[in-house]
Amino acid sequence: MQMVGPAYMDNVINGRVAGPIGNKHPLAVGAPHGVFPCAGEDRWISIAVLDDDEWQGLVAATDVAPWAAAERWTTAAGRVEGIDDLHGEVATWTAGFDDYELAHLLQANGVAAAPVLNVADLLEDPHYRARDLHRGSPSARLRRDDLRRLREDQPQRGPGRTRPIARPRQRPRVPRADGYAVAALRVTRRARDHLLSPRSTAPVRSVGCAWR
C-alpha cells in the first residue's frame, strides 16, 4: 500500500488517474529514462538522462549520430514530450552494443547507465565481487563436483560487519505446544500429555492429531 500513496494523493488532490509508465521517470523530468536492449540474448542496459549536460554526454557517446543531434532533442522539454520516439531511437542504437561495454562508454561521458544483471551476472559482477557481497558456503550436494554454493550474506556491509557463514551445530528446538493450542486439537490423552510435557519438543504432526 505504501507504494500507491503518491498516486492516491494525486488523484484526490488533482483529480488525475495514474496509469502505467514503465521505466519512465515518475515525475517526467528526464528522458531518455528506461531499459534498452543490447546485443545478445535477453541483455539490457538502464539509462537515465536528467539534464542537458547528461544528454550532451549521450550524444558524444553516439559519436554525434544524426538521430542524437536532431534539434528536437536539444531541450529537456522536447525530449520528455517525444519520449516514445526518443526511446525508439535509443533502443535501435543500444541494440548493437555489449551491455557492459556500453555502460562503461556512457559512464565515461557522464551518463548514468548500468547493465541489467540476472542472478548469474551478480555472482561474477566486478562491482559485487570487489565488495565481497557474496560469501562461499560448502554444499554437500555440490561437493562431489568440487563446486561451492554462493549465497548472499549481508545486504549491507562495512568495516567490522563481516561474519563467516556457519551451519547451526544442532537442529533448532521446536517450541512445545501450550494448553490453549492443545485444546483446539482432537487428540488422545497420551498425545495431549506428550504435547504438554516440559521435555517435549516434537512437532504436533509427530503425535497423530487433527484439527477440530
Grid coordinates representing 171 are: 537442529
pLDDT score for 50:
95
Q: pLDDT digit string (tens) for 86-122?
A: 999 999 999 999 999 999 999 999 999 999 998 888 8
Considering the domain architecture, whether residues 34 and 107 belong to the same structural domain is answered as yes
Long-range interactions of 87-95: CB distance < 8 A, separation 24+: 87/31, 87/32, 87/34, 87/36, 90/32, 90/36, 90/47, 91/36, 91/37, 93/62, 93/65, 93/67, 93/68, 94/36, 94/37, 94/38, 94/45, 94/47, 95/36, 95/37, 95/38, 95/39
Rounded distance between C-alpha atoms, residue 26 and residue 37, angstroms: 21
Contact 94, 36 (CB under 8 A): yes
Of the two residues 203 and 104, the one the predictor is more confident about is 104
- The position carrying cell 536492449 is 37
Closest to 47 (Cα-Cα) out of 36, 60, 62: 36
Asked if residues 41 and 32 have their Cβ atoms less than 8 Å apart, the reply is no
Contact 112, 119 (CB under 8 A): no
Portion of the chain with pLDDT greater than 90, in percent: 42
Q: Which cell goes with 173?
A: 528446538
> Are residues 95 and 40 part of one domain?
yes
**Rounded CA gap, 142 and 164, in Å?**
20
User: Are 112 and 48 spatial neighbours (Cβ–Cβ below 8 Å)?
Assistant: yes
Residue 167: band (very low, low, confident or very high) from pLDDT cuts 50, 70, 90: low
Provide the domain limits for residue 138: 121-152
The CATH number of residue 57's host domain is 3.30.1540.10
Average pLDDT, the chain: 78
Does some domain include residue 14? no
Residues 100 and 139 in one domain: no
Summarised one tens digit per residue, pLDDT across range 28-44 is 899 999 999 999 999 99
Total domains present in the chain: 3
- Same domain for 109 and 137, yes or no, is no
Residue 135 pLDDT grade (very low, low, confident, very high; cuts 50, 70, 90): low
The answer on 133 and 100 residing in a single domain is no
Query: In terms of domains, do 130 and 145 share one?
Result: yes
Averaged over 32-57, what is the pLDDT? 96
Instruction: Looking at the structure, tell me whether residues 34 and 105 fall in a common domain.
Output: yes
Residue 42 domain flag: yes
- A 10 A CB-CB count for 42 gives 8
Residue 71 lies in a domain: yes
Joined together, the cell numbers standing for residue 11 give: 488523484
pLDDT category of residue 186 using cuts at 50, 70 and 90: low
pLDDT at 207: 45
